[in-house]
Homo-oligomer: A and B are copies of this chain.
Amino acid sequence: MLEIQGLIQVLKAEGYRVTQPRKRVLEALALAQRPVSPYDIQKMLLQEGSYLNHVTIYRILDLFCLLNLAHRVSLVGGFVKCTLGAKEGCHRFMVCRQCGVLREFADKALCEEENEIAQDLGFHTERHFSEFSGLCSNCQV
């Protein structure tokens, strides 16, 4: 599976081990394609016959977020797998308030504009977190 290949690369490059639980959590995230909680992931995996302790899932998600492999969506309180490369600057997310589907993107010009605004206010910006709420193409009548 392509997803797993990417995981292996990133984990190894950062000195982490490629374990069964980590592979399974990433598969679940990829399958969900919308924000899911640690317990959601546990249930998904149970249905496939594999069990992971919830603490383990928490720790794996923390690691994934650290490596930019996943993101915690604060608007809905769940985790999603990042589709952009782990190192491509700041990721932004649009969440459909109707169906919950999520779309990820990055925009360099937006980052620069935000940096300028912040600088004018005396701030040195390091990271930009942004999420948009609205309607996806399917949910617009």
With contact pairs A127-B133, A131-B129, A132-B127 given, residues A94 and B121 touching in the complex (Cβ less than 8 Å): yes
Within 8 A of B (CB), among A126-141: 126-137, 140
Q: Does A18 contact B (CB under 8 A)?
A: no
Name A's B-contacting residues (CB within 8 A).
74-75, 94, 96-97, 103, 105, 107, 109-110, 113-114, 117-118, 121-137, 140
Distance of A108 from chain B, by nearest CB (Å): 11
Residues A107 and B97 in contact in the complex (CB < 8 Å), given A132-B125, A132-B128: no
Q: Which chain B positions have C-beta within 8 A of A128? A: 130-133
Q: In the complex, what residue of chain B is closest to A96 when comparing beta carbons? A: B123
CA distance A109 to B126 in the complex (A): 21
